[in-house]
Amino acid sequence: MLVSRPVPTLAASSTLPITPGQTEGPFYPVSFPTDMDADLVRVQGQKAQAVGLVAHISGRVLDRCGSLVAGAMVEIWQCDAHGIYNHPRAPGQKRFDTGFQGYGRTQVDATGRYAFRTIRPVAYPGRTPHIHFKVHAPGVGRLTTQLYVADEPQNATDGVLNAIRDRDARASVIMRFEDAGEIEAGALKGTFDIVLDV
Ligand SMILES: [Fe+2]
C-alpha cells in the first residue's frame, strides 16, 4: 500500500534542529562571583586550581538557519568535582571547592564562537553529570538549557534529560568528550553548538 508522506519544504529541510530548553534548576547564582570569566578552573586569588578533569568546551550560537548570532552572551554553572554547587541552598556548601569558579560567562566572538575552560561535570544525588547553560542574545532571543556527557550510565534514567521526549533533540544536548592533549596535557574537549529558536 502506498502511504503518502508530506514532502519537506525547502525551508524546513534547510533549518537546524533547535536546542531544547530545560529547567534552570535551583542553583543559578544568587550573587555573582568576583571572578566570573570563561576560565572556571582558576579563581583569582586562589593558589590551587579546581579539583577535577579540565575540560575545554566550545561551540557556536546559531539561529535556525545556521547564521551566527552576534552579540550573544553565554553563561554556564555547574557543581564542583565533589558534586557541590556554589549556592547558599546547595547541600554541602561549606565543602565547596574554592579553587573552582562554579559559574562563568563570556561573549561570543566575531565568528559567533564561545569557549570555556571548566571541569568535566560529575554526577550528584539524583542527577547525571551536566552543565547548565543560559544564552542571551539581546533583541534576538534567549535559551536556558543543560549539557550532558555521552555514555554516562545515568543518562538513561535522568528525569530532566529524559523530559526531552524527542530523541534527536535529546541527542543534541549530549556531548562527547575527546582527548585535548594538544591544548592542555590531560584535558578533555568537546563541542556544543547552540541553536536558538529564532
Ligand atoms: Fe544541576
6-53 confidence digits (pLDDT tens): 444 444 457 999 999 999 999 999 989 889 999 999 999 999 999 999
For ligand 1, the distance from its centroid to the CA atom of residue 64, given in whole angstroms, is: 27
For ligand 1, the distance from its centroid to the CA atom of residue 28, given in whole angstroms, is: 9
For ligand 1, the distance from its centroid to the CA atom of residue 131, given in whole angstroms, is: 7
For ligand 1, the distance from its centroid to the CA atom of residue 147, given in whole angstroms, is: 10
Cβ-contact 135, 68 below 8 angstroms: no
Cα gap 82→75, rounded to integer Å: 21
For ligand 1, the distance from its centroid to the CA atom of residue 44, given in whole angstroms, is: 24
For 148, the grid coordinates are 550532558
Total-model pTM: 0.92
Residues 6+ apart with CB under 8 A from 107: 71, 72, 73, 74, 114
Contacts 24+ apart (CB under 8 A), 8-17: 14/65, 15/64, 15/65, 16/62, 16/64, 16/65, 16/66, 16/195, 17/168, 17/169, 17/172, 17/195
What integer best gives the mean pLDDT of the chain? Answer: 93
Cα gap 76→104, rounded to integer Å: 5
pLDDT over 80 (residue 100) = yes
